[in-house]
Structure 1
Amino acid sequence: MPSPAAVVLGVGGLYVAQSVIGGVTFQGLPAVLRKDGASLNEIAFVLLTVLPWSFKFLWAPAIERIRLPAAGGNRSRPVVGVIGAIGVAALVAAALTGPSMLGAVTAALVVGAFASATVDIACDGYAVESLAEKHRGWGNAAQVGGAYLGSAIGGGAFLILIDQLGWRDATLIMAGVLAALGLPFLLSRNPLRPHRSDAERPSLKAAFRRREVWFGIALVGLYVLGQKWAMVLIQPYLVDAGMSLSLIGILNGFVGAGVGIVGALLGGWATKRHGTLPVMMASLLAQVAVTAALSVAAYATWKSDAGLGALAIASSGVMAAGFVALYAELMGRASLDQAGVDFTLFQCADGVVSLIGWQLVGVFGDALGFAWCFGIAAAIGLGVAALLPAVMRG
């Protein structure tokens, strides 16, 4: 069996790498576009790059069949290596186009998102099948903490580099970071867990026959509804409040990464001690409080960099703790014979619900304003908190 430490190190690097592309797309580029005068509706167009993450379940069975061949064995490393190289090339293409060519840079980032989402299928499947139940908390912490660190690099350090070097050089550096983060997994001598040759072939049909999968989809959709809909508003709001790109980059990067990682570790510890539901509820209610505070700040046209920055990083920390608990609940519900397919369905539910909310924000955000949008998101979060215990029992 693979060493738990080597598994966590390898998948941790991949989770960070995947989130670098996400950070560039969902945090870095929106702030750059807003600085150049783009509307929220134009920024929402870029967020279409989340589509591969929303619908990767369509090709997840094919990737799992390649990764886990019928004759037995495990091809996780070749799958990650080939698809990961496509992701690096896509980021290089985005560097050579630039945000002034919105259609071209969006197309490049869609390819990058497709590659990143595909690597995630293999990575999640490998993590679930390689970590025993007692070690899965570390896997969840690597997943969520890695996502925050990658977002900090892509949405934080990236903005600082743009201020200093410009779009092309900053994005090329991100491509190099992406390649380096995949090396611990690709160069590891840790043995891969062999796949049973007599196992049922991975398929969506097999996934949808299982009650645990339907439970997971419903739970993810509900939780994202309460936690994430306001997320896309925060960076443009900070820009409109007069905060510089460098300061936003510092908040997303060094400070945000630290708070997110601490939140993930605390979430893992609290989940082990108290269980998943209490941690998910506490995180959700804390997010409601932060979002309501942002609504009040927007209504009062409050422009304190320190105060608004504190609210932004608090949102990251409490979300990290909640999603560690959520995915700890879901990891045990994925079948070991097709963990990549089952876990992908959970993540696609996350992406679809997020995309719906973000597009609604883009369509109505300019008309309603930040105060109303943050306020509506906080009210939705309260409704989700009321429903969550019943869904968890179901």
Structure 2
Amino acid sequence: MSVDQASAQVSGDRLPAPASVVVGVGGLYVAQSVIGGVIFTGLPAVLRQNGASLNDIAFILITVLPWSFKFLWAPAVERFRSPRRGARRSRLVIGVVGSFAVAAVVACALIGPTALGPLTVAIMIASFASATVDIACDGHAVESLAEKNRGWGNAAQVGGAYLGSAIGAGVFLVLIDHVGWTQATLVMSGVLVALALPFMATRDSGWSARPDRPRQSLKAALKRPEVRSGLVIVALYVLGQKWSMVLLTPFVVDSGVGLSTVGLLNGIGVTAMGLAGALGGGYLVRRFGSFPVMTVSLAAQSVVILGFAIYAYLGVRQPVMLGALALASAGTLALGFVALYSELMGRASLDQAGVDFTLFQSMDAIVSLIGWQLVGTFGDALGFAWCFAIAAAIGFATVIALSRLPRPSVG
């Protein structure tokens, strides 16, 4: 039991039922990924269909920036959500800020896909609101789930990302084909509201803030060795895997697999394996702990990435083998990220859970952007085989480095 947990129990606080927490935050995680799927996959396809240039589409994608830099306003959000005295305000923050996200999606429906300026503003509002909701949601999850149940919370987070992306990137496009942009986007706004209802029906964590608790801040987070080592873990863990992720679809296409097959592979196979990996991760983390599962899954993922490198180097043309590698990658990736986020939850202080965990997620997003930029800059020159080999090498090196990093202290 951590010091934070012990102090909370001494004060007589009681955690809400784990199932209600997992269902509630799971709905929010799905909703956030619906927005992400609409913005980053569904919308570019619609824009291209309506004659937008690649430059216009790339401009729209700057709306990812709030997710990369949400740590800048996380302390202010957490100071309001979790005051030193009085009740937690997770539902208030998520209800109010989430309403702005829904309203922005409704605005997108009314603006239409051709007015890029107003559409970008509306999307930026939706992205900013969604990122802010995520701060409060993560803080609530860390506070409300005991250590033994955090694997299920992270399974909801990772599995929700896969499910939400399937809705926002898949169902959304199907609806557009049948009912048009406006109606399809309004349906998505209704889905967001429905997904948030389970959380709004649950109570906030029963843990009252300590009156002598330090003021939530980035400085306080970075003073803690658990946070600093956690940031190193995220940076190392993410770089190789996100590098390989951005390569995967272009590599599959260049290997001669048709777009319809790629769509089925991503829409059904990868989503199913991602959900299976997330659920398996929840079970394994509960049984064996986050750190061992995280290390083993990273080693397995690195082996899979090395398989892609060998496949590319040998010039193999076996779609079944390639599909099997892609599915194995999706499953191990999801399992590993459940374990990673569970480990990071253990490193977040209950005094400022949302700030600490947001720092970890922002590091994930920033390193991902760096990795994607590196691939864009050097990928063509190096080729798929060397890019995958480098990603695998980073993964294996990280497995070795993880054993030397300090673990959070427990008492």
TM-score range, shorter chain: 0.7 to 0.9
Counterpart residue number, 1:50: 64
- 1:233-312 map, 5 Å: 233-238=247-252, 247-295=261-309, 306-312=320-326
Q: Does 1:217 align with 2:231?
A: yes
Shift of 1:116: 1.4
CA distance 1:383–1:108, shift in 2 (3 Å): farther
Shift of 1:366: 5.1
Q: Which amino acid aligns with 2:161?
A: A
* Contact 1:87 1:111 (C-alpha < 8 Å) held by counterparts: yes
* Contact 1:31 1:236 (C-alpha < 8 Å) held by counterparts: no
- 1:60-75 map, 5 Å: 60-75=74-89
Shift of 1:240: 5.4
CA distance 1:225–1:344, shift in 2 (3 Å): same
CA distance 1:91–1:365, shift in 2 (3 Å): farther
* Contact 2:226 2:407 (C-alpha < 8 Å) held by counterparts: no
Give CA deviations for 1:220-269 in whole Å, capped at 9, x if unaligned.
11111122222233344455556666654543344333211211222232
Tell me which of 337, 340, 349 is aligned to 1:335: 349
Q: State which drifts further: 155-164 or 354-363.
A: 155-164
Counterpart residue number, 1:91: 105
% identity of equivalent residues: 64
Tell me, in whole angstroms, the C-alpha distance in 2 between the residues paired with 1:171 and 1:301.
42
Counterpart residue number, 1:325: 339
Counterpart residue number, 2:216: 202
Structure 1 SS opposite 2:348: coil
Structure 1 SS opposite 2:213: coil
Counterpart residue number, 2:93: 79
Counterpart residue number, 1:11: 25
- 1:87-126 map, 5 Å: 87-95=101-109, 105-126=119-140
Structure 2 runs not aligned, ≥5 long: 1-13
* Contact 2:90 2:204 (C-alpha < 8 Å) held by counterparts: no
Tell me, in whole angstroms, the C-alpha distance in 2 between the residues paired with 1:368 and 1:45.
27
Q: State which drifts further: 158-167 or 250-259.
A: 158-167
* Contact 1:27 1:155 (C-alpha < 8 Å) held by counterparts: yes
User: Between Structure 1 and Structure 2, whose CA radius of gyration is higher?
Assistant: 2
CA distance 1:15–1:273, shift in 2 (3 Å): same
CA distance 1:145–1:195, shift in 2 (3 Å): same
Give CA deviations for 1:146-181 in whole Å, capped at 9, x if unaligned.
222222222343344455555554444333222211
Q: State which drifts further: 94-103 or 312-321.
A: 94-103
Shift of 1:52: 1.4
Q: State which drifts further: 210-219 or 127-136.
A: 127-136
Tell me, in whole angstroms, the C-alpha distance in 1 between the residues paired with 2:298 and 2:27.
28
Structure 2 SS opposite 1:71: coil
CA distance 1:181–1:345, shift in 2 (3 Å): same
Counterpart residue number, 1:384: 398
Shift of 1:316: 1.9
Tell me, in whole angstroms, the C-alpha distance in 2 between the residues paired with 1:59 and 1:371.
40
* Contact 2:47 2:113 (C-alpha < 8 Å) held by counterparts: yes
Tell me, in whole angstroms, the C-alpha distance in 1 between the residues paired with 2:116 and 2:174.
21
Instruction: State the number of aligned residues.
Output: 394
Provide the TM-score with structure 1 as the length reference: 0.85
* Contact 1:285 1:381 (C-alpha < 8 Å) held by counterparts: yes
Tell me, in whole angstroms, the C-alpha distance in 2 between the residues paired with 1:33 and 1:301.
35
* Contact 2:143 2:205 (C-alpha < 8 Å) held by counterparts: no
Shift of 1:322: 0.6
* Contact 2:50 2:114 (C-alpha < 8 Å) held by counterparts: no
Structure 2 SS opposite 1:199: coil
Shift of 1:325: 1.3
CA RMSD in angstroms comes to 3.4
Counterpart residue number, 1:181: 195
Shift of 1:277: 3.5
Tell me, in whole angstroms, the C-alpha distance in 1 between the residues paired with 2:246 and 2:156.
23
Counterpart residue number, 1:316: 330
CA distance 1:336–1:179, shift in 2 (3 Å): same
Structure 1 runs not aligned, ≥5 long: none
- 1:8-47 map, 5 Å: 8-29=22-43, 47=61
Provide the TM-score with structure 2 as the length reference: 0.82
Q: Does 1:231 align with 2:245?
A: yes
* Contact 2:64 2:127 (C-alpha < 8 Å) held by counterparts: yes
Shift of 1:111: 2.7
Tell me, in whole angstroms, the C-alpha distance in 2 between the residues paired with 1:44 and 1:359.
13
Q: Which amino acid aligns with 1:388?
A: L
Structure 1 SS opposite 2:243: coil
Give CA deviations for 1:43-84 in whole Å, capped at 9, x if unaligned.
765553332122111100100111123432111111101111
Shift of 1:387: 2.5
Counterpart residue number, 1:59: 73
* Contact 2:243 2:371 (C-alpha < 8 Å) held by counterparts: yes
